């Protein structure tokens, strides 16, 4: 049997900017991996797009913050290539239990960042 799950999220870049300024490094460490922080540097838009991706992934998996650590969902990005989700910990466990692999698409424009996550299972014979 084939399974498809979808999650979507919108994030205010303005709100992420305020949180980054108010909470600093502890906020970054709680929400984004070291590699994500290196990629985002000082770009609130990149942080916001990755937060949207994490939220969208949680929605696709049917579990939220408190059940999944934000750093258990990592957006791996190489400039010029499509982003990939690397799941660890509880995120990986929930994806394995659901039998799905997740893919992500992200964007940001103006004051909004968005992400869509689609999870599909391998369909035998289809």
- Percent helix, strand, coil in the chain, to 5, is 45, 30, 25
Opening angle at CA 116, ends 3 and 25, nearest 5: 120
Q: What is the pLDDT of residue 3?
A: 85
Q: Is residue 27 part of a domain?
A: yes
Q: What is the pLDDT of residue 34?
A: 98
Q: Is residue 19 part of a domain?
A: yes
CATH number at residue 23: 3.90.470.20
Per-residue pLDDT of the chain (126 residues; tens, 9 = 90+): 688 999 999 999 999 999 999 999 999 999 999 999 999 999 999 999 999 999 999 999 999 989 999 999 999 998 889 999 999 999 999 999 999 999 999 999 999 999 999 999 877 655
Q: Is residue 126 part of a domain?
A: no
Q: Is residue 42 part of a domain?
A: yes
User: How many domains, the chain?
Assistant: 1
Q: Is residue 25 part of a domain?
A: yes
pTM, full prediction: 0.93
Q: Is residue 14 part of a domain?
A: yes
Q: What is the pLDDT of residue 124?
A: 63
Q: Is residue 125 part of a domain?
A: no
Q: Which domain holds residue 61?
A: 4-120
């Amino acid at each position: 049997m084939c399974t498809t799950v979808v999650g979507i999220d919108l994030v205010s870049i303005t709100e992420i900017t305020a949180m980054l300024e108010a909470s600093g490094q502890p906020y970054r460490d709680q929400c984004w991996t070291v590699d994500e922080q290196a990629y985002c540097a000082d770009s609130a838009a990149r942080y916001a797009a990755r937060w949207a991706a994490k939220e969208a992934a949680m929605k696709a998996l049917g579990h939220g913050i408190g059940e999944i650590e934000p750093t258990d969902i990592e957006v791996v990005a190489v400039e010029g290539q499509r982003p990939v989700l690397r799941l660890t910990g509880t995120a990986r466990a929930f994806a394995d239990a659901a039998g799905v692999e997740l893919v992500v698409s992200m964007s940001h424009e103006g004051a909004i960042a968005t992400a869509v996550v689609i999870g599909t299972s391998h369909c035998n014979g289809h």
